[in-house]
């Protein structure tokens, strides 16, 4: 069995989503080898599993096997026969076959921390591609979100999106609102957008009246997400994709999660007046 030594000591295994954005193809590349040589000492062929939420249950199937040391890329079209239309495909690597439909998201052992075991999560157009190394773990419920973005590239010839990627242990669908403000104009409210859990929410950020030096801030009071900022040049020849940090990353050492709570309390009270 793969990783029988380190698995029981560690937390849970991450998922690797396949993104969906209009005009782009999502492609996710899995790696069946660890990112370092000291946290996991053994390895073997792993199952590639696909998990999705449907009818308030999590469903998981084996879609492939990956030899130790190998990598392989998957697009939604490779997985479409399993998936309901609007579901978020979640790939993972597993050492044992999945069980039947479950009420909670299946969790397997995490394998490394320095760095985390990641996949290449990519968006591809006929002319270009953009990617980040990432993983997705379930957020606490209800959770919250605060994102400050200096990543928008304001220009008439560019399109800007925020992709809010959410995963929760519970498969039942719930909705919330993502509100965007302009920090540079006395926290002026710009617009709100409905978002859904266990999915990738694609939100266009152009036409909100933002200027190049403006700093937008987005909040959601009861749902967490990874905010991915995507810029597409008008002919899709050039792309950029990057996530913003959780607010705890603005500080190091000490009680940094308290710093995150402090920051969220400050801005939620300021913006929701």
Partner 1 sequence: MTRYLERLRLASWKLGQPLSRLPSSPAAVVSDLFIWRNNEDYKTSFELISLPSIFDSQSTIHADATIVINSSDGVNVLELPISFPPYCRQTLRMQDLIPAGYGPYGTFSIFHSHTPSNIGSLGSFLCERGYVGYQWGDSSVHSYAHGNLDAVARLDDYSTELLGSRSFRKRNFNLQCKLEPSAVYELALVNPVPHRQTVTFLTLLPSGAVMDSRSIILPPRGSYIFTLAPNEDNLRLVIRSNLVMARPLVFKLSRGRADVFHG
Residue 157, token pair as written in the block = 């010839």
Query: Could you tell me the smallest distance in angstroms from the CB atom of residue 234 to partner 1?
Result: 8
Q: Which residues contact 243 (CB under 8 A, 6 or more apart)?
A: 132, 134, 226, 227, 228, 229
Cis bond upstream, residue 115 (ω within 30): yes
User: Read out DSSP for 54-115?
Assistant: ETTEEEEEEEEEE-TT-EEEEEHHHHTTT--TTPPPEEEEESS---S-BSS----B---BTT
Check binding of 8 to partner 1 (CB under 8 A).
Answer: yes
Beta carbons within 10 angstroms of residue 99's beta carbon = 8
Residue 44 binds to partner 1 (criterion: CB under 8 A): no
Residue 156 binding partner 1, by CB under 8 A: no
Contact 219, 179 (CB under 8 A): yes
Helices (H), ranges, 169-214: none
Residues in the chain: 273
Stretch that binds partner 1, among 56-64, 125-133, 164-172, 193-201 (CB under 8 A): 125-133
* Residues 187 to 226 in contact with partner 1, rule: CB under 8 A: 212-215
Q: Is 95 in the site for partner 1 (CB under 8 A)?
A: no
CA pair distance 166, 105, nearest whole angstrom: 13
Contact range with partner 1 by CB under 8 A, out of 46-54, 67-75, 90-98, 103-111: 67-75
25 or 148: whose CB is closer to partner 1? 148
Nearer to partner 1, 98 or 246 (CB): 246
> CB-wise, 13 or 151, nearer to partner 1?
151
For residues 251 and 254, give the distance between their C-alpha atoms in angstroms, rounded to a whole number: 9
Among 120, 137, 169, 206, binds partner 1 (CB under 8 A): 120
Quick one: which of 109, 208, 233, 268 contacts partner 1 (CB under 8 A)? Answer: 233
Between strands 226-233 and 90-94, the pairing is: unpaired
- Among 259, 264, 268, 273, which residue interacts with partner 1 (rule: CB under 8 A)? 259
Smallest distance from the beta carbon of 103 to partner 1, in angstroms? 29
131 phi and psi, to 5 degrees? Answer: -150, 165
Binder to partner 1 among 77, 155, 173, 188 (CB under 8 A)? 155
Residue 205 tokens, joined: 């950020």
Q: Which residues bind partner 1 (CB under 8 A)?
A: 5-6, 8-9, 29, 31, 33-39, 69-71, 73, 114-115, 117-120, 127-133, 148, 150-151, 153, 155, 157-158, 183-184, 212-215, 229, 231-233, 237-240, 242-245, 249-256, 258-259, 262-263, 266
């Amino acid at each position: 069995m793969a990783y029988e030594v380190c698995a029981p000591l560690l937390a849970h295994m991450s998922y690797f989503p396949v993104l969906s954005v209009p005009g782009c193809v999502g492609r996710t590349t899995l790696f069946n080898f660890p990112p370092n040589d000291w946290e996991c000492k053994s390895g073997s062929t792993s199952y590639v599993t696909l998990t999705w939420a449907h009818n308030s249950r999590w469903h998981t199937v084996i879609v492939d096997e990956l030899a130790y040391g190998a990598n392989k890329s998957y697009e939604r079209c490779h997985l479409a026969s399993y998936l309901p239309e609007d579901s978020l495909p979640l790939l993972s690597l597993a050492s044992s076959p999945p069980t039947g439909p479950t009420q909670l998201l299946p969790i397997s052992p995490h394998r490394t921390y320095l760095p985390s075991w990641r996949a290449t999560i990519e968006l591809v157009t006929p002319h270009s591609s953009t990617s980040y190394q990432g993983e997705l773990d379930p957020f606490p419920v209800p959770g919250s979100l605060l994102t400050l973005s200096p990543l928008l590239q304001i220009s008439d010839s560019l399109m800007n999106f925020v992709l809010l990627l959410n995963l929760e242990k519970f498969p039942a669908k719930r909705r919330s609102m993502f509100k965007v403000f302009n920090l540079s104009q006395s926290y002026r409210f710009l617009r709100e957008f409905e978002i859904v859990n266990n999915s990738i929410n694609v939100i266009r950020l152009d036409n909100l009246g933002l200027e190049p030096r403006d700093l937008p801030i987005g909040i959601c009071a009861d749902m967490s997400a990874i905010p991915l900022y995507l810029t597409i040049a008008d002919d899709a020849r050039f792309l950029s994709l990057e996530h913003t940090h959780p607010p705890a990353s603005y500080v190091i050492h000490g009680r940094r999660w308290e710093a995150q709570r402090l920051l969220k309390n400050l801005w939620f009270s300021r913006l929701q007046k």
